[in-house]
Amino acid sequence: MKKALNIQIREAEEHAVIEMEGYLNDSLGEELSEEAHTLIEKGYTKLVINLEKTSLINSIGISILIEIIESLDEHEGTLNFCGLTSTQERTFRMMALAKYAGIFPDEKAAIANL
């Protein structure tokens, strides 16, 4: 129930998209992490995280995003982000997240570049 409210998963043939709503802190981050790992276990190695509806991301939330990148990397997968505000993008670049994951303006571009 809780998951249905905050996190949406869209599974396609080759990739899956995760979209979250609200404040990405430790608790929403844990839900996200679970969803991502379920997708990876299902065999998805190409993921997009859509942050359009994610209003705020704290540093714990970012650490969790990094963990997901790491897990995907172990499966030789790719992660792309989309829907970031300019402040979020700035923070991601500062934390070198952008080195290991793509940042795209919209979901279409993020999927196309997986």
CB of 109 to other proteins, least distance (A): 21
- Closer residue to other proteins (CB): 9 or 95: 95
Residues within window 19-78 making contact with other proteins, judged by CB under 8 A: 23, 25-27, 56, 58-60, 62-63, 66-67, 69-70, 73
CB of 70 to other proteins, least distance (A): 5
Write out the E strands in 12-95. Answer: 16-20, 22-24, 46-50, 54-57, 78-82
4: burial class by Cβ within 10 Å (0-12, 13-18, 19+)? exposed
**DSSP bridge pairs for 28:** none
Q: How far apart are CA 13 and CA 94, in angstroms?
A: 33
Give the interface with other proteins as residue ranges (CB under 8 A). Answer: 23, 25-27, 56, 58-60, 62-63, 66-67, 69-70, 73, 85-87, 90-91, 94-97, 99-100
